[in-house]
Amino acid sequence: MAKLLKVKNVAYYYTAEGTRIRAVDGVSLSLPAGKALGLVGESGSGKSTLGKLIAGLLKPQRGCIYFAGERIEGKMLPSIQYVFQNSTAALNPRMRVKNLIEEGLIIQGKYRRQQRINRVLTALKAVGLPETLLYRFPHELSGGQKQRVAIARALIMDPRLLILDEPVSSLDVTAGARLLALLKSLRQEKHLAYILISHDLAVVRQVCDYVAVMYAGKIVERGKVEQIFSSPGHYYTKMLLSAHPSPDPKRRCLPKIIGEPVDPSHIPAGCRFHPRCPQATFACSHRPPAFFEITPGHLVACHRTQTQIF
């Protein structure tokens, strides 16, 4: 299957008070057209930074990003749209819904006024919002409506890839469920590819085809959704799954959450997860693990997986 997106050995470091923070440190992944990838991990693992690198909002210090065969790192393309986590902060409070949605078309210099209005109405309809909201301000909208407006702003640019940063984290359960149903239907109708950044594994399982698990700036496990959820290979992935409640005792993972996320300004040698892993060996603390394919398409970066002890 042709790859719409390819990320190769990408790295991005922040500098704070003279200290280099490895937000993303040598990440590679790919995504076919029309498919959805979930990026999961604890806060500070580098998920949002990776999403911004792909969207061109940040330029990597190392590595390459290819989109539809074109090298794009540092470029912002209309065909890649980013939907931010905080829709309240992302929407200009002084602009009406109509102006917010058509802003991208105006910046791109596309279409005449009436054509833009027609496209705004189409985008509103696509996200399930009525025309009566056209001239409202963001403070007059509910949380779910704001998030839908943010998605409409992205859709009006006819993207091929949507990067969604915690799309339901600020919504109640009902609004979140409706938004997820909307995302699934939009993906089918418009053949969109998604990168879904989330700490909620239930959301990822519902929407995504693939999962990449991030820890301390690196991907430690990746594969299809059913592989990750049914047979996690990395202890960190098992910890994340055990933190997600399940009513079925047979589906509960035994590993407990151990320790705190590593300080990104003081990355340990070897495997970055080894200070929290109860099964760590001497090799784990001295040598970074390579990826090992435990089943076709299911890759895990763990020394113990390679020795088939895990």
Q: First CA to last CA across the chain, in angstroms?
A: 31
Query: Is the domain of 19 the same as that of 105?
Result: no
Which domain, by its residues, includes 23? 3-76+166-179+187-306
Whether residue 136 sits in one domain with residue 97: yes
How many whole angstroms separate alpha carbon 84 and alpha carbon 149? 12
Q: What is the pLDDT of residue 308?
A: 47
> With helix as H, strand as E and coil as C, how does the chain read?
CCEEEEEEEEEEEEEECCEEEEEEEEEEEEEECCCEEEEECCCCCCHHHHHHHHHCCCCCCEEEEEECCEECCCCCCCCEEEECCCHHHHCCCCCCHHHHHHHHHHHHCCCCHHHHHHHHHHHHHHCCCCHHHCCCCHHHCCHHHHHHHHHHHHHCCCCCEEEEECCCCCCCHHHHHHHHHHHHHHHHHHCCEEEEECCCHHHHHHHCCEEEEEECCEEEEEEEHHHHHHCCCCHHHHHHHHCCCCCCHHHCCCCCCCCCCCCCCCCCCCCCCHHHCCCCCCHHHCCCCCEEEEECCEEEECHHHHCCCC
**Same-domain status, 197 and 56:** yes
User: Same structural domain for residues 103 and 119?
Assistant: yes
pLDDT at residue 13, rounded to an integer? 94
Pairing of strands 19-32, 36-40: unpaired
Whether residues 127 and 258 share a domain: the answer is no
Rounded Cα gap, residues 7 and 54, in angstroms: 8
Same domain, yes or no: 245 and 131: no
Q: What pLDDT is attached to residue 250?
A: 58
Strand 193-197 vs strand 161-165: parallel, antiparallel, or unpaired? parallel
pLDDT tens for each residue of the chain, 310 residues long: 679 999 999 999 998 888 889 999 999 999 999 999 999 999 889 999 999 999 999 999 999 999 999 999 999 999 999 999 888 889 999 999 999 999 999 998 889 999 999 999 999 999 999 999 999 999 999 988 999 999 999 999 999 999 999 988 877 888 888 888 889 999 988 899 999 999 888 889 989 999 999 999 999 999 999 999 999 999 999 988 887 666 555 555 566 677 788 888 888 999 999 999 988 888 999 999 999 999 999 999 998 876 543 3
Q: Is there a single domain that holds both residue 56 and residue 94? A: no
Residues 209 and 153 in one domain: no
What are the structure tokens assigned to 246, written together? 């399940």
Domain count, the chain: 2
Whether 117 and 247 map to the same domain: the answer is: no
49: CATH: 3.40.50.300
What pLDDT does 68 receive?
95
Does one domain contain both 173 and 46?
yes
**140 and 46 within one domain:** no
The reply to whether 240 and 98 lie within a common domain is no
